[in-house]
Amino acid sequence: MSPDYRIVARTPAIEDYRRLRAISGLTPRSAEAATVGLPNTVFAVVIEDQAGQAVGMGRVIGDGGLFFQIVDIAVDPAHQGQGLGKAIMAALVEHLRATVPAEAYISLIADGEAHRLYAQYGFQPTAPASIGMALFLRPDGA
């Protein structure tokens, strides 16, 4: 990662969270949902540019002991290709390795070609033994 950026261990601000999700192609989230969800973050990092603007983020959620999920890996498209996604993943995995029990189950959902990034940190597909599944309570967002 270039010295033009710094990684900070903190949960993103609601506005930064929503902006980074939207511009990086992740599903947009409401301010109301972010207000409820973000405080439950187990660990998070934010990458800031020289002006202090959040240009990348990643979070860990979970029960604190047995199950964790890496979520919200997002980098502003104007700052992609600088190794920021790798820095985010390295920080999250390093934190987990240092703080959670060895038997903890850590999962994530890899969209598109992101599986190539995650594989660099030891993540492997679970199929065919298991498959990821999801339920969207209100698919229309209402």
- Residue 142: pLDDT above 90? no
Homologous superfamily assigned to 6-119: Gcn5-related N-acetyltransferase (GNAT) (3.40.630.30)
pTM of the model: 0.91
In sequence order, what DSSP letters do the residues of 32-85 get, joined into one string? HHHHHHGGG-SEEEEEE-TTS-EEEEEEEEE-SSSEEEEEEEEE-GGGTTSSHH
Q: Residue 113 has what pLDDT?
A: 87
Closest CA to 67 of 100, 105, 31, 40: 105
Q: Over the stretch 5-22, which tens digit does the pLDDT of each residue have?
A: 999 999 999 999 999 999
Q: Over the stretch 51-60, which tens digit does the pLDDT of each residue have?
A: 999 999 999 9
Domain boundaries in the chain? 6-119
